Chains A and B, each alone.
Chain A
Amino acid sequence: MIPSITYQSQLGFPGLSIITFTPLLGALVIMFINQERKQLIQITALTFAVISLIFGLYIFTQFSTAGHSMQFVEKYSWIPSLGVSYHLGVDGISILLILLTAMLDAISILSTWKAITERVKEFMICMLILETCIIGVFVSLDLFLFYMFWEVMLVPMYFIIALWGGERRLYSAVKFFIYTLIGSLVMIPGILLIYFNYHQYALQHNLSQLYTFNLLKLYTVPIPMAKQFWIFITLSLGFAIKVPLVPFHTWLPDAHTDAPTAGSVVLAGVLLKVGIYGFLRISIPILPQISRQAVPYIAVVAIIGIVYGAALALAQTDIKRLIAYSSVSHMGFIMLGLFLFNQRGLEGGILQMINHGLSTSALFLIAGLIYERRHTRMIADFGGLYHQLPVFGVLFAIVTFSSIGLPGLNGFVGEFLILLGAFEANAVYAWFLVLGILLGAAYTLWLYQRIMMGKLDNPENQKLKDLDARELVTLIPFIILMFWIGLYPTPWLNVMRPAVETLVVQANRPLDLGASPQIPLAVEKVDTENWF
């Protein structure tokens, strides 16, 4: 069992709850503001998002990279008869994702200043509730709580697409809702199987607690292979739809195309990571043996996703659709990295989750900036914008380079680690990964070329204005982080390293059905030999 450190000894106040529920509080406050006072609503929403981010940063500074424990843990009994508790805690993986969520939400709220002019109040409420749900998923250590946040997350996202979206918004919103709802419903039997398996185990070993949803406890319980199979199938389906893995990806391009910019930013930046986080937090540690057996299948699906997503991205004429398909490809990349089950692959995969969150969100922001100016997303309508928008062009170029993994920027670090992990596990994967990198460079650079370079021959493009201060503020944090992670990734890797080491041990442990309870899972220091 992973040891945990309570919040009292680290902070003295329940930090995770504050980060999680500050946005919800903001939503409540906004409900009492007159909907005509749009500016006040916007500022209030931004304030609460920023408060959440500041608390996130403060907690990040207090985060200890020394031990392999869950930190800032808060635990209160909630429904004792069912074994449900209000149990929050973070490790090195989730703290990074929380920070990413808080940052992206604040930035996307800022980015809607001019884009969203109708029903501002409802929009801001949706955005803030969405933030609470996503952070809630990342901090939950209780399966029940996790599932609750997971399920509620759909509702605000559905409204964001359906009410403030593009031409086919209702179609896309309903498609998104049906896909993800089916995914979540399928997960219920899997969760219950885990739950009752623990119950049986507890009866066998005369444990005092007969029911629990506590993830840390569930990690230690062995599950017979037949059960593991069915649990893995149901849970993976739910997570795979969210990631999305091919062939469950078709909701993503529609949702991205029709969502407003802020929706796309959050969707690409963190909502997709929620699915991967599910694999990391639930599937792999609870079902390590079946997960190991599933590696070839997951790898094939991931590779198909990498190539297929990239091929479709090459063929797109709509900027946002192109970025959406590129996400499908990148997600395959990340999944492959994680399912290598070695230190480098996992580190690379998790870092690449952050990187993808940064670069793709920035790309969607950029697509939004162009859309606000020209009210079209067709690539063919553009060309030569560099002459008119030089500052924008430079920032767009940096984001493009980050997305394709140019050395010196963040994408390269993640890709490099995943490649290295792939070589250690199975060199065949590496070939497909390289194909993915090449195709990724092709469609992303081609996108840039078609939009920014060439002649500025469309008269409508000749009147465009370059970025103003607010728009710069939304993009600069991405640029800084891209360079930071690219040039000096060590602190980021240090934060996630203990959690990854734990995960490696968990993923590679053998099945021991007769294991007696309460034996803590030994977390050995994974050998980090000197490479030189």
Chain B
Amino acid sequence: MLPYLVIIPAVSAILVAYCGERHIGWRNAWCLIPCAANFIIISLITKSVVAGERYLVTLVWMPPFSIEFSSDAFAVYMGLLVSFLWFFTMIYSFGYMTVHHEQAQTRYYTALMLALASTMGVIFSSNLVTLFIFFECLTFSVYPLVIHTETDEAYQAGSKYGVYLVSGGTMVLLATVAVYALTGGARFVPGGIPALAGQHKGILFILFVLFTVGFGFKAALLGLHSWLPDAMIAPTPVSAVLHAVAVVNVGLYGFYRVIYNVFGIELYQRMNFSTYLAIAASVTIIVSALIALRQNEIKRMLAFSTVNQLSYVLLGIVSVQFIGMLGAMLHIVFHSFMKITLFYAAGIIIVQTGNTNISDMGGLARKMPITMLSFTVAAIGIVGLPPVAGWISKWYIMQGFLQQLSIGHIILAAVFILSSIIELGYFTPPIYLAYFVDREKQIPKAKLGSEAPLTMLIPMVIVVCIALFFGIWGSLPHWLAKPALMGLLGQNF
């Protein structure tokens, strides 16, 4: 079944391109079918995967190398997340692209389907070569989305995106080849590839740097992040895909596989890599939060918020406590649901009012009550306040630090709290303006705005409700997150 997860979206990309503007109904159908099909396929295997079964499909590519897909619980976990959110993003796109009168919609949908295929390929990959192949395909299939508006700015953002991510990909390639040459194989092993533990320290350090920088570009570590805010020039659904569904999650996925299944968390900790990563992630968290405070453009602010939130996940991993790592695992999902809501809301605001700035959001809650309510709920979640999902994962990660009372861990906990306060700082202005300012006095009449069509509202409301639901019934994702983490760690943790 697993290769179909890639093949179905890839084939529908061709069908979408074929249907084009002539058969818009069919085109839209071919956008939705693969998302739904993937979600159903993954759901069907979920139960047996949790029970411990593992599907492995090997496609001969060039022996002894092969393209391999396998389904461990982590892959299923990510696959469910991506295909679910992708489905709603497609529905949202139909509304957004129509209302906003975007050009070249067929190219847009084709690229989105190719991106879905590549993302699925990454998630269900079973060795580093497969991961790299689809990783690189994802980079290229997202490029047409970044330059979608074809303005000079978009091309600049596209070039930056290309340079950053292709460089990152090349580093991953180098590291992949090195792992092959050193250990004679690069299949992911729960608990790490054993042959790697005996290698020279310098080589391991170089591997660590290559993998961290390579995946760091996609996961937007500080210093490697600047393509992400620039890429906000793309249509808002694309931003949602970049931030909440595909690209950055694939970066995190790379970190997970490398830390747990290539190095192994024990080796990672023994070599002090976890400390280095913790420092990088802490700096990213604080600095990106401060930068986010200064932004007036709503999508750029959200972009820096993403940079900030992704590093929470990395911090959770390097806490090296089961509870902290579980928190990180949960945070991927919770953050995706909340951030996608924020982008949906931002997109609705942009489409309906033409504003892209926070300062122009005054009094918006009267005109768009549902949108602003969703925005507020998601923002509360990102900050980490109950009852929205974010607080659970943050709580877990924090516990991971506080279980080991060393100075370093207390500093990390302090970083966490400080960052949450700053987050409160940057999410307050839009919410305050929206609810407590009289819009008619400020804004010319033509731009007042009104609620969006249902194709955009419904996905947003569903997604935000799920985020709220997770916050209240927090144990729900555990039944999958826990086996996912156990599967990554292997028996000996």
Contact = CB atoms under 8 A, between A and B. Distances in A.
Do A and B interact with each other, yes or no? yes
B415 to A, nearest CB: 34
A493 B170 CA distance: 24
B57 to A, nearest CB: 14
A487 interface: yes
Nearest to A445: B162
Interface in B115-159: 127, 129, 132-134, 136-137, 140, 147, 150, 155, 159
Contacts of B170: 434, 437-438, 441
Contact of B184 (A441, A453, A531): A531
Contacts of A449: 155, 159
A14 interface: no
A418 to B, nearest CB: 10
Interface stretch (B69-77, B173-181, B231-239): B173-181
Given A441-B170, A487-B61, 7 more contacts: A406-B140, A407-B133, A407-B134, A437-B173, A445-B166, A449-B155, A531-B184
Question: Chain A interface residue count: which class?
Answer: 20 to 34
A490 B60 contact: yes
A442 interface: yes
Interface in B19-64: 60-64
Contact of A531 (B132, B150, B162, B180): B180
A423 B155 CA distance: 36
12 contacts: A413-B62, A419-B174, A423-B177, A434-B170, A434-B173, A434-B174, A437-B170, A438-B170, A445-B166, A488-B62, A528-B64, A532-B187
B185 interface: yes
Interface in A443-471: 445, 449, 453-455
A368 B172 CA distance: 36
B62 A530 contact: no
A213 interface: no
A531 B166 contact: no
Nearest to B206: A427
* Residues of A contacting B: mostly: helix
A430 B173 CA distance: 11
A420 interface: yes
Nearest to A486: B61
Given A454-B155, A455-B150, A530 B64 contact: yes
B127, B167, B174: residue with the most chain A Cβ atoms closer than 10 Å: B174
A416 B177 contact: yes
Given A449-B155, A454-B155, A489 B62 contact: yes
B263 to A, nearest CB: 18
Contacts of B132: 407
A453 B155 contact: yes
Nearest to A390: B107
Contacts of A406: 136-137, 140
A159 interface: no
Nearest to B181: A423
B61, B66, B129, B147: residue with the most chain A Cβ atoms closer than 10 Å: B61
A529 B184 contact: yes
Nearest to A417: B62
A164 interface: no
A489 B155 contact: no
A408 B137 contact: yes
B94 interface: no
A493 B62 contact: yes
Given A437-B170, A445-B162, A490-B60, A408 B65 contact: no
B173 A532 contact: no
Contacts of A279: none
B1 interface: no
A401 interface: yes
B181 A424 contact: yes
Interface string A294-328: 00000000000000000000000000000000000
B7 to A, nearest CB: 12
B140 A401 contact: yes
* Residues of B contacting A: mostly: helix
B137 A427 contact: no
Interface in A78-104: none
Interface in A395-416: 401, 406-408, 412-413, 416
A7 B126 CA distance: 46
B99 interface: no
Contacts of B159: 449
Nearest to B129: A416
A419 B129 CA distance: 13
A423 B178 contact: yes
A531 B65 contact: yes
B409 to A, nearest CB: 36
Contacts of B140: 401, 406
B163 interface: yes
A213 B134 CA distance: 50
Interface in A261-294: none
B61 A489 contact: yes
B159 to A, nearest CB: 7
Closest 9 CB pairs of A and B: A423-B181, A407-B133, A531-B64, A489-B62, A419-B177, A532-B185, A407-B136, A434-B174, A531-B185
Contacts of A413: 62
B404 to A, nearest CB: 37
Interface in A473-507: 487-490, 493
A416 B127 CA distance: 15
A406 B129 CA distance: 13
Contacts of A401: 140
Contacts of B155: 449, 453-454
Contacts of B163: 442
B94 to A, nearest CB: 23
Contacts of A490: 60-63
B62, B127, B180: residue with the most chain A Cβ atoms closer than 10 Å: B62
Contacts of A420: 177, 180-181
Contacts of A416: 65, 129, 173, 177
Nearest to A433: B174
Contacts of B173: 416, 419, 434, 437
Contacts of A488: 60-62
A529 B180 CA distance: 13
A532 B166 contact: no
Contacts of B150: 453-455
Contacts of A437: 170, 173
Contacts of B133: 407-408, 412
Given A416-B177, A430-B177, A434-B174, A532 B61 contact: no
Contacts of A438: 166-167, 170
Nearest to B184: A531
B137 A407 contact: yes
Contacts of B162: 445
A430 B155 CA distance: 32
Interface in B166-208: 166-167, 170-171, 173-174, 177-178, 180-182, 184-185, 187
A408, A431, A487, A489: residue with the most chain B Cβ atoms closer than 10 Å: A408
A423, A490, A529, A532: residue with the most chain B Cβ atoms closer than 10 Å: A532
Nearest to B151: A455
Contacts of B182: 423
Contacts of A431: 174
Contacts of B180: 420, 423, 531
B62 A430 contact: no
Interface string B450-493: 00000000000000000000000000000000000000000000
Interface in B358-395: none
Contacts of B62: 413, 488-490, 493
B335 to A, nearest CB: 29
Nearest to A394: B17
A434 B185 CA distance: 20
A432 to B, nearest CB: 11
B172 to A, nearest CB: 11
Contact of A427 (B127, B136, B171, B178): B178
B250 to A, nearest CB: 14
